[in-house]
Every structure is written in structure tokens, then in C-alpha cells.
A and B are shown apart, each in its own frame.
Chain A
Amino acid sequence: MKAIHILTLIELKLFFRDLQSLIWTFIFPFVMIYFLGLLFGNSAVGEMDYKTLLIPNMIALCLLSTALFTLGTRIVSYKESQLLKTYQITPLHSIRIILSFCLLGVIISLFSIIIACVSGHFIYNLQPPIYLIAVIFSLMLSMVTLFSFGILVTGISSTMQGAAGISVLALNLQTFLSGGVIPYQILPLPLKIVAKALPLHYVNDILTFTWTGQSVNSIWLNIIILIGMAFVFFILSIRCFRWT
């Protein structure tokens, strides 16, 4: 536990010393909420007002970008610089590194969530969720799924450039197919099938339903799929972890 605690703490300090990461984390949610609200604020998705869905969709995007760009890419940069090889000769197990980075992701995401909520409240008078425990559960499940997914897919590459390419592809593909930006209902059938294979689709669903206080009975299958994905991605991210 001591190693996880100190590794997380030091990685957090390093995160705050990196100006680019700070700008991305703190400015991105604010800018996206502002512009998406401005562009589509008066439209509706089904029976829902678009603005109501703005914060949960934005949180889902922030979680995915943190998973890919902050966690996954950072681990690959450590692999490229041979830092992981140095860690490998110590008793530090790969599971501790992944847990520590997931913990780091939780802390960073909390900042993004707070900024998204505060921006939404002050700009568009958006209200906080009613069922807080349900939201916390869905956030935790989403974080485990997306963070381990980010570490897994970026880990395919052994260079920063490769990891950045994978991250951009994974983020854009999921952003457009998850239903967060373009409504899922209007997608053509082949894209609907692809969207169903991506974790952000289910993260969007669970976050939207719990945030807006809707009953999750109608998406119970999506929740089970997301739990399955969380389990598979977490196990695979440990099994496929490469030190060099």
C-alpha cells in the first residue's frame, strides 16, 4: 500500500508540474461545456433537453481523455524512457503501477468533474444530480472501465508517438459514436454496431441515466456489459502490461 500511496502522490505532483496537462484538465471541460451549450443548447434529444445531458456527456469524455492522454500515454513514455525497466528490477509489481495510475486518474477526473459541474451551473444554470450515490457508483464503474481500457490500448505501442496516435483515434472514434455528441438513434446501422462494441457508449448511458435521475431498469443490460468490460479490461491491462 505504501508504494501505491507514494507513487500516486509523486505522479500527482509531476502532473501539477506539467503545464500542458494542467491546461488540458482544467480548460477542456469548461470550453466544451460553453461551446456545446452555445451550439446545441436549445435542441432536444428524445424527450430530454440537450443541456441536461451536457454534464454527464462531458464527464464521460473527460474520463476517456484522462485515460488515454494522461494515464496511458504517460505509462508508454515511461516505457520508452526505460523508467519502467528500472522499476522492474525493484519489487514493484505491475498491478501496483496500474492501481496507482488509476488512483491518479480518479483524482484528476474529480477536478474535471468539479469544473464541468461548476461551469454548467454558472453558465447554463444546470442542476446537480438528485441521486448522488447512484452517480458515484456509475462514476466509479466508468473510471475503472475507461482507465484500464486507456492503459490497455495505448500499451500496444512502445513509443510516445504511437501511443498518441492510438489515443487520438480511440478518442475521436468513441466521441462520435458514443451518442454524446451525435445522438445514437440517428447513426446508420453499421455504426450502431461499432458503437455497441465501445465502452464510452455504455459509460454515456449509465452516467446520463443516473445523472438525470432516470430509472436504470431500462439499461440493466448495458450496466452488466459495462461491468463485464471493466473486469476484462482491468485483467487484460495487467496481463498485457509490458515493462520494455
Chain B
Amino acid sequence: MFQHTNLQSKIKVGEAIELFASFYPRQIDTTLALENLKLEPFRHTYFKNLSGGWKQKLLLTLATLHSPSIVFLDEPSTGLDPKSRRELWKMIVSLRDAGTTIVLTTHYMEEAEQLCDRIAIMNHGSVVGLDTPQKLIQSLNKDKSILIACKQLNIALVQKIAGVSRVVSKNNLLQIFTDTIEWTTFELFKLISTEGLIVDDFRFSTGSLDDLFVKLPQLQEEMML
């Protein structure tokens, strides 16, 4: 399935499924395909009148009518709104759960993190990272951080906590980098309690694939130098 795949604008959903089913030598139950993907209400709808999300769902249905063991998806959710994207993800996950191997290319790191068991990050045609999403993130972020929103918190006091390497202030949030996250958290809350401050937001930041996507090629270049 390609990023900009198109069907004839005035082909109906039912006709498209019937047409693609006829391309394969084995018998395909088109009614079942329509029902499984809840496309039955759109059977008589023209392709051009479907929303972007439904178009992609139909195209994914057409690509998998013959129950392939491997499917290549080229940026399937490009241009879709968040709701349609999540619905498409559900379809992809159900295909994966049914045993289909899916090779998916995407620029959306959230999509890769949500859907993929293994991720290969490519830079100028070379693989610069290959592992599970969790391990890739862990490999990058040895320096863990804490994000906290607390208006009266004194940065100078925070920097004195054992293990803290640096503190960055951005958008009412303090990002505290540390190599002993448990100890720093304990000391931080002890400080907040002593000072009688109010915490508006608190979370651990373990980094994201977005960060990894930006940093990995840089790391590779540094290693080559």
C-alpha cells in the first residue's frame, strides 16, 4: 500500500473489493471483507465521497484481501486526522495480531512507537538504529530527567540535590537531569514539602523516539569522525 494510492473516483466501495478480489486465483469472500472492516454501510458509496480515513481503510482492505503473510505499508497515515489515524492503527494492530508481518515506513515517531515491535531508523540509506522501541529509547537516554511544574521552586536549591547534573527551565516546567532518578525524586519532594510549595504537574521523562530520530544520525556521524 502506497502513500498516495488512489482508486477511480467514481468506483463504489463494493465494486472496488469485487474488482481486487477477482485479481487473485483463490476465491475471496467479499461480503466477509466488507463486514469485518465495517465497510458494509459504504458498499454503494463512491470512493471520492469517502473521508481520508475510510479511503485508507478501504485501501488497506484491498491490499490484504488475499490474506498475505507480509504487508508493506508506505506512510499509511499521512494526511489523516488523529481520529482516523487511530482507527487505521487499530486495523494494522488487528492484522499484526492475526499473524501478518507488517513492514511500515513512517515519519511519525508516535506511530512507530505504537505499532512496531522492532524499529529500524534510517539515515541517508543506512540503518543507524535497530531494536525494540523501548530498548532504542533506553539506549539513548542514559541521562534520565524529571519534569515538574512548581512556581516557587528555587532552581539553585534543586541544583544542590545529589545526582542532579543540570536544570533547564522551559514553558513553566523545570527539566531536571539526573543519573539517580529515585534519589533525586525523593529529595525533590522532601524540599517541596519543607518549603510548603504546590506542584501543578510532575512526570518522568525517559525521552522519545522523536529525540532518538534527531540524535542517532548525529551520534553516528560523531563516531565516524
Contacts and interface: CB of A to CB of B under 8 A. Distances in A.
A146 to B, nearest CB: 24
B11 interface: yes
Contacts of A188: none
Contact of B2 (A10, A13, A82): A82
A58 B70 CA distance: 52
B122 interface: no
B25 A91 contact: yes
A92 interface: yes
A14 B10 contact: yes
A3 B23 contact: yes
Majority DSSP secondary structure for residues of A touching B: helix
Contacts of A7: 19, 22
> In this complex, which of A83, A85, A89 has the most chain B Cβ atoms within 10 angstroms of its Cβ?
A89
A90 B23 contact: yes
Contact of B6 (A10, A83, A92): A83
Contacts of A82: 2, 4-6
Nearest to A13: B15
Contact of A17 (B4, B6, B10, B62): B10
Contacts of B63: 89
Interface residues of B, number: 19
Contacts of A89: 63
Q: How large is the interface on A (under 10, 10 to 19, 20 to 34, 35 or more residues)?
A: 20 to 34
Contact of A6 (B10, B18, B59): B18
Main secondary structure of the interface of B (DSSP, over half): loop
Interface in B12-30: 15, 18-20, 22-25
B197 interface: no
Contacts of A90: 20, 23-24
A125 interface: no
A74 to B, nearest CB: 9
A19 B117 CA distance: 49
Which of A7, A10, A83, A87 counts the most chain B CB atoms within 10 A?
A10
B11 A2 contact: no
5 contacts: A3-B23, A86-B5, A86-B6, A90-B20, A91-B25
Interface of B: 2, 4-8, 10-11, 15, 18-20, 22-25, 59, 62-63
Shortest Cβ-Cβ A-B pairs, 8 listed: A6-B22, A90-B23, A81-B6, A17-B10, A92-B23, A3-B22, A2-B22, A86-B5
